[in-house]
Every structure is written in C-alpha cells, then in structure tokens.
Amino acid sequence: MADLAIHTENLTKVYRGDLGKRPIVALDGLNCDVERGEVFAFIGPNGAGKTTTIKLLTRLLRPTNGRIFILGVENKSHNSMERVGYLPELPNMYGYLSGREFLDFIARIFKLDFKERKRRVSQLLERVGLEKSSDVAIRNYSRGMLQRLGLAQALINDPELLILDEPMSGLDPIGRKDFRDLILQLRDQGKTIFFSSHILSDAEMIADRVGILNKGRLINIGKLDDLTSSHITSVDVTFRVESDALSRVDTKKYKTVIRDQNVMVRLNDSKEVNELVKSIERWGGQIISVIPQRKSLEEIFMTEVGR
C-alpha cells in the first residue's frame, strides 16, 4: 500500500433522504487504487458520485462505510492531508484580495516563512500565467483566471498528490491546453494527479489510467491504452502501387479508396491484414501504413454507461 497514492476499501456514502423519502446512495462500495506518479482520470455522468468521492478523499465528508488511505496514511489522520493539493470544482476566494495576496494567505496557512512565501507565490503566478494580473482584485478575475489561481493555491505546499475536481471546466481551448501541459509537467516531476472530468477528450489526452463511475459504482478501470486497444473497430492499410498495376487491386473484395497511386483499404477484421499484405506483394505494391482504428474514450464511456 505504501506505493499507492490513493487506496479505498468498500468506500460508501449514503445521504439521508428527506422526511418520508429513501436514503440516497451516492457512492456504493468503491474499491480504487491510484498509483504514485500517474495521471488518473475519474469520469462519469452528472450525479455519478465523482464530487462525493473527492470530498471523501479530502476529508470534507465522512464516509458511511469503508476506509481511505492517502499516500500510505489512513485519512482519519489530520497528517494525511499535509502532502495533498486540492482544487474544488467551484473555487471560492476572497474577492477583495489580489491574486498575490490570496496565495500569500494560503502560504501562511502552511506556515511558510517570508522568503519562501515570496518565492513560491511569484513562481506559481508565473507558472499559471497570472503574473500580469497578480495585483488585480480577484473579484475582477474571469472564470478561467479563477481556475488558474485555484491550481496555483493547490500547488503552494509543493504536494505529492493533486486532487482536482473538474479542473478544466469553464476554460477556453487555450486555457485547457495550458492546464493539460501543466498536469503533464507535474507528472514528469513525480507528482500524482487525480482529477475528475466530464470533458472526455481532455482525459483521453493526458490520463495514464481511467476509472468510469456510474450511479455510485465503479464500472470499469484500467490503463487508457488497454481500454481502447481492446475495442479495435477496423484496420486501415495504405499502400502505393505503380499506375499500370492499379488494375490488379481487387476492389470487389476490399473496400478501397484510390488517389493517384495510393490505395487505402479498410478491413473490418484484423485477421485479414496478413492476407492483404501478401496480396499487396503480388501486386508489386509498397505498404505505407497499417493503422488500427479504435473506439474513442467517449464511445467506450457511452457503451459502459449505457449498460
């Protein structure tokens, strides 16, 4: 367990229902491990239990049942949060403070001395692209600027584990790319990033592993490459033949697209690749590429949730 950043055992959260109504099971027996040094995406539809899980991990809620270990320490201990950075879905900050003043306030909570506070605050403002707006009151920040400042405060204590709730929500395409790049940089520094998201394209770009949550249950978990490679829908083979050999290509047997001397064949069964390669050799062709077409994370997600 020491090599895990997050470990949960039968984690359950039940909310009491209103008078005369049944209790609501927000999370139902979650067993999930997040390895150190990886980017883990926690995805699911609205109401799946993602935010409830994050609030349980960060001690903002108490579980009805189950156990949580953070960086090898059970999170019943106050010390379990010392090496954790947290960005909530909707950061709520003091609007009358400037970005620099707010980060300095957070640094004081972590008891950083004056020189270290000044260094860390300036470094993080530059890192998240807010150095030019550092002395502007937070009430005048856009949603994207608030997200950037929220990430900066989550990094103020140089955490080993980052827990981010919908970190790219409300960001424009440039902001989302900047966030993705920063998350990958943090992973390269050895940090672990656990984030929830409903923007599946972002998760697909940066996640090492993915967990799919639906109606409080973890319905699939695994490495992104493993999840997508097991859902190969077809194989595209592109090759080149001389003009006088184009007539040899069996267009009745294979679905083909011919452009000049380049031919693309789409095979619905990967077992047919070897047979086609032998045919290309007979036609005197030269193979350019063999590309398996996989289901996207969004397609896998819709299939899993639809079940």
Q: Is the distance from CB of 74 to CB of 80 less than 8 angstroms?
A: yes
Do 223 and 239 sit in the same domain of this protein? Answer: no
State the Cα–Cα distance between residues 295 and 123, nearest whole angstrom.
40
Q: Does the residue 102 lie in any domain?
A: yes
Do 210 and 116 sit in the same domain of this protein? Answer: yes
pLDDT, residue 204, reads 82
Burial of 256 (0-12, 13-18, 19+ CB in 10 A): middle
Do 155 and 16 sit in the same domain of this protein? Answer: yes
3-state secondary structure of 131: helix
Number of domains the chain is built from: 2
pTM, rounded to two decimals? 0.78
Residues 109-157 pLDDT 10s = 999 999 999 999 999 999 998 999 999 999 999 888 898 999 999 999 9
pLDDT, residue 1, reads 65
Residues 52-67 pLDDT 10s = 999 999 999 999 999 9
Domain boundary (199, 228, 257) is at 228
From start to end of 209-299, where are the E strands?
209-214, 217-223, 232-240, 255-259, 262-267, 286-294
Q: Does the residue 304 lie in any domain?
A: no
Residue 84: CA count within 13 A, CB half-sphere? 25
One-letter amino acid at 14 equals V
Q: Does the residue 303 lie in any domain?
A: no
Do 253 and 205 sit in the same domain of this protein? Answer: no
The span from the first CA to the last CA of the chain, in angstroms, equals 32
Do 54 and 163 sit in the same domain of this protein? Answer: yes
Q: Does the residue 305 lie in any domain?
A: no
Do 134 and 266 sit in the same domain of this protein? Answer: no
pLDDT, residue 29, reads 93
Residues of the chain with pLDDT under 50: none
pLDDT, residue 135, reads 93
Do 175 and 219 sit in the same domain of this protein? Answer: yes
Host domain of residue 167: 4-228
Domain boundary (180, 207, 228) is at 228
Q: Does the residue 272 lie in any domain?
A: yes
Burial of 33 (0-12, 13-18, 19+ CB in 10 A): middle
pLDDT, residue 231, reads 64
Average confidence score pLDDT of the chain: 86
CATH code, 239: 3.30.70
Domain boundary (177, 212, 228) is at 228
CATH code, 158: 3.40.50.300
Q: Does the residue 301 lie in any domain?
A: no
Indicate if the alpha-carbon torsion angle 78, 83, 89, 95 is positive or negative. positive
